[in-house]
Structure 1
Amino acid sequence: MPIKIPDELPARRHLEDEGVVVMDERDAVRQDVRPMRIAVLNLMPKKESTETQLTRLIGATPLQVELTLLTTGSYVPTNVSQKHLSAFYHTWEDVKDQKFDGLIVTGAPIETLPFEDVHYWAEMNRIFDWTQSNVHSTFNICWGAQAALKHFRDIPKHELPGKMFGVFEHTVTAPGNTLLRGFNDTFQIPVSRHTETRKEDLPEDPMLQVLAESPESGLCLVQDQRYRQIYIFNHLEYDARTLADEYNRDASQGLPIDVPKNYFPDDDPAQEPPNRWRAHAHLLFSNWINDVYQSVPFEIEDIGKMAAE
């Protein structure tokens, strides 16, 4: 089944060029199925790039997915045109009375700020509370994962002495977990962050499980069944050149930045970096969507009722 996104969304053209099947509202209503409703709270400054990266992964699943793009209402992003926001995005306040099978919360370039100093921190707390009654499963990425862990578990983030930047090998620590179905014992994933969440800060709780980690870059993937949250601190969704673009941006501005580790061939920024994580990105997102599909109530209005009871 394809993913349903607005006809004019820039990501649509990229997905069609890659062979991802997309559909419009007219075609979607002909199919006698309940589409999965997935929302993306996009906190990244380059919203169009993030839209393409995530819809590529969501659209590769065999289910019909209806995508809703969200932005914060308490803070208006300045790195994207207001025309794009008004055409394709809703604020959380617009949809807070609706139910969703899944929610993806992206990272944000604010990780060195204390949580309480983030302009939209109060709204983020309301959104995380809302997921307990209106979202079946939430997938939090990078800063979004740190923010969710702070909200649900009061777990701090720690500033690193230097940016953790590159492609690092990670080890699967819970091979029987359905989110890791089909994964190799070790896999590579892009990392780009100035802070970390430490394993020793996690509470002892059998419903909070570390799924993947690295001896060099630390925690990667954690599942929290108590609150129906997934936390990933790194970026399987990244394109092959995303780290290169970050490196070139900072280098051109004279900012202190090291060449990303294990990324460019021969550590030479003049060479084209290969994508060595694409297959595992598709695996993780398809496994997540399959788990949601298998466990979510058929009647979407029943989402959250069991938790409330």
Structure 2
Amino acid sequence: MPGETNGNGAAPDGYPQTKLNTIRIYKQRGYYDYRTVHSIVAATFVSHVAFTITDEDGELTPMNMPLTAVMGRYDPNDPLPEDDGDEAEYIRQQEAVLDGPADLYLHTNAASLLYKSIKEKGSIRVCVTSTKVDGVVLFFTPNGHSLNYRSSIIHGDATLITDPAEKRYAMHLLTNHMSRRRWSATNPVTPSALKAVQVMRVRIRCASAKVRAANIGDFEREQVGEREDVWTGVVPVYEVLGEPVGSGVFPERTAEGQVEEWRVARNEREKGYAERVAQPSEVELKMREMVSQ
């Protein structure tokens, strides 16, 4: 999980440090290994894609769009199995993308400015950010408050995918990103739908992640202050998938099996991580003992 790998420096199995991706503030929270960066993208439903366009006055204008993003490594000689029912194979595919070089795939619409910009230029530079908030950190003083979080920043070149096989691969990944093993649990995608969908591939130039996964951290004795009613600690924050609400098209069909298994497992994982990283470390516990004496 993020926050448990070796931070503060480029990993041998990760992205090289450049001027673009080097963490400069709280360097000890920086990570450059593939797993940490890729797992943050995998953990969030929405990522933000920043790019520039030339406006009607001829000026460069920054843009930022929320999109669905997923990591992938397309290999025409090793296609994804159409049936996601094999859990072991599904996990193997997921793990392979987390632990090695990969591309980032984005789903967009032909009417979007991002699509139009790539269509016009063939390729554009983008910056993709993904964020998960895992807790609100409440400190003794206002300037010590913080968040537990996982964030990744990816710099790369975005192009449109024209190969039907790779587009199908990306749609497969994007569907399963929304709901685990959902691709083969639905009706197959039609050729006309495949043609209408717009998918972009981002070749990654560099990337990094930043993670805070702790309680209130180090503090000086004088920061405790004189007030005795100030509570300090972490309020865990985690995303919860609620009870499924049916469409009513087929009332007799219930959300069991794949849907319920995915919902329960994801909720447990989100809650478990947020609560676990909120726990005080041994160093923090010793500091508390010193203050209380």
TM-score, structure 2 normalization? 0.24
Max Rg structure: 2
TM-score, length basis structure 1? 0.24
